[in-house]
Structure 1
Amino acid sequence: MRKVLVVIPAYNEALSIEDVVADIKKNAPDADYVIVNDGSKDHTEEIVIKNGFNCINCFMNLGLFGAVQTGFLYALENGYDIAIQFDGDGQHDGKYIKTLVKAIEEGSNIVIGSRFVTEKKPFTSRMIGSRLIAFAIFLVTGKKIKDPTSGFRAYDRDVIADYALDMNNPPEPDTLVYMLRKKKKIKEVQVQMREREFGESYLNLSNTIRYMSRMLISIMLIQPFRKVR
């Protein structure tokens, strides 16, 4: 039986983290989990300690993907075969964890919990960035990824190592280009996501604009020319 770890990056998620852990325990009882408390300024750490949750407490804010990489390093060092990236804000639904794990077991290297496999992506301002990133990835690789910004993903052991051991290779949408160049198999499976009820998003408006600009530059001008290791 493969060892599965759910990596939960958490920044100011005091109001949701208990429900997130309960959701994972209910729907994926055979999986382990680790919370990466990313320098939260609220009571996240106190709640984690009170409940005895498995947690890595960062002394400073690493950002979303720094927190995820910390979780991947934990997965690698502790011999996990599959890592699931699962947000701490309650938007991801634990009932889909088994679906992502199954797709890895069937031969995929990266599985994206996608909102748009069987459902159409809406033409809204929130989806502009997703559409631009998806189009850029297609231009560079010829691969259609319908929900590249989804943070609900599963990774096999080889990809965990790729992301955990290279600080210049964070598990972001742009590095999907690099993984495709490495001949990694990426699959999307349909999921439903909830709306955020509590907490603070990593991405406000100004950060979103900077993030999108960085992603598009990386996809078009950096990832296609990286040396494949």
Structure 2
Amino acid sequence: MQSTSGNSTLIIIPAWNEGASIEAVVKDLRSSLPDVDVLVVDDGSTDDTAAVAGAAGAKVVQLPYNLGVGGARRLGYVYARNYGYQIAVQFDADGQHQSSSIPALIAGLEEADLVIGARFAGAGEYRASGPRWWAMSLFSFVISRQARTRLTDTTSGLRVCNRDLIEYFARWYPVEYLADTIDTLVRVIKAGYTVRQVPVVMQPRIGGVPSTSPLKSVPYLVRAVFVLLLAYIRE
């Protein structure tokens, strides 16, 4: 099956109540990468996210209720599989990811099945601290050893994958928070796929409410360790 526009690359953007930022994100992608399709998966939003995204030039699919970012991404991969896309790009709706990073990530697929846009690999000034940094450091240490390559940002949501992994993620992609980044990495490495990273620069979110805060940092650390352990003991 061919893609609906003839393009081979699909950018998947999960969005929940991102009406304040989604227009700018979609318009930037359509302007910077006119030969790439943009799909916004509206994750049960109660605002005008879907309408704004469609008016800005994105393809839009809507979930009837909020599944979380993992569930929205899985629907995006099902769409990519069903319409024959060869490359899928995970991208955020809040404006922190930059469209200029995408060509280098796609180029990385020449030697990998999954390429991560890494915030802590020498580009930009993004910083994390406290329990979140401890968790990220633990993830990077453990998963880098398994992948046999240095991965500095294993929780990054900016990723690019090839057709084989589009098929894989369309069949299986975790809905749970954190599992959608950590569990997917552990699973694909266990399955024999190659993972690499490319340094990227992040920018401040355009609008909306951040999902992280100091009060959430300790529960984040506890949940993160649990998710990592679960990822390794699952068959």
TM-score range, shorter-chain basis?
Answer: 0.7 to 0.9
- How far is 1:226 from its partner? 3.6
Residue 194 of structure 2: aligned partner: 185
CA RMSD of aligned residues (A): 2.6
Runs of 5+ in structure 1 lacking a partner? none
Shift of 1:146: 0.2
Distance 1:209 1:123, change over 3 A: closer
- The equivalences for 1:70-149 within 5 A come to 70-104=75-109, 106-119=110-123, 122=127, 124-125=129-130, 126-138=132-144, 143-149=149-155
What does residue 47 of structure 1 align with?
A: 52
Q: Quick one: structure 1 residues 5 and 58, their matched pair in 2 at CA, closer, same or farther if it must change by over 3 Å?
A: same
Task: Letter of the 2:198 partner, please give it.
Answer: V
Instruction: Give 1:176's aligned residue.
Output: 185
SS in 1 for 2:167: helix
Q: Indicate the residue corresponding to 2:210 in structure 1.
A: 201
Letter in structure 1 aligned against 2:164: D
What letter is aligned with 1:12? N
SS in 1 for 2:182: coil
Residue 225 (structure 1) shift: 3.8
* Paired residue type of 1:124: S
Distance 1:2 1:25, change over 3 A: closer
CA shift for structure 1 position 160: 1.4
**Is 1:160 matched with 2:166?**
yes
Deviations 1:181-225 (CA, angstroms, capped at 9, x unpaired): 2221111101101111311334556766555434322323x3334
Cα distance change of structure 1 residues 8 and 208 upon mapping to structure 2, 3 Å threshold:
farther
- How far apart, CA to CA, are the structure 2 residues paired with 1:134 and 1:186? 13
Amino acid at match of 2:156: S
Residue 54 (structure 1) shift: 1.1
Quote the Cα distance in structure 2 between the aligned partners of 1:175 and 1:94: 23
Structure 1 runs (4+) deviating above 6 angstroms are: none
Deviation at 1:135, TM superposition (A): 2.7
Q: Which amino acid is 1:26 matched to?
A: S
Q: 1:133 to 1:36 in 2, by over 3 A?
A: same
What is the identity percentage for the equivalent residue pairs of Structure 1 and Structure 2? 33
Residue 147 of structure 2 contacts residue 195 of structure 2 at CA under 8 Å; is this kept in 1?
no
- Give the deviation of 1:88 after TM superposition: 0.5
Contact (CA 8 Å) 1:72, 1:161: kept in 2 or not? yes
TM-score by length of 2: 0.84
Map of 2:231 onto structure 1: 223
Matched letter for residue 38 of structure 1: D
Aligned positions, number: 225
Q: Deviations over 1:116-148 (max 9, x none)?
A: 222588562353332132233246555431001
Single out whichever of 139-148 and 82-91 deviates more from structure 2: 139-148
Q: Does the CA-based 8 Å contact 2:26-2:53 persist in structure 1?
A: no
- The gaps in structure 2 that reach 5 residues or longer are 1-5
Q: CA deviation at 1:98?
A: 1.0
CA contact (8 A) 1:112 1:152 kept: yes
Letter in 2 for 1:59: P
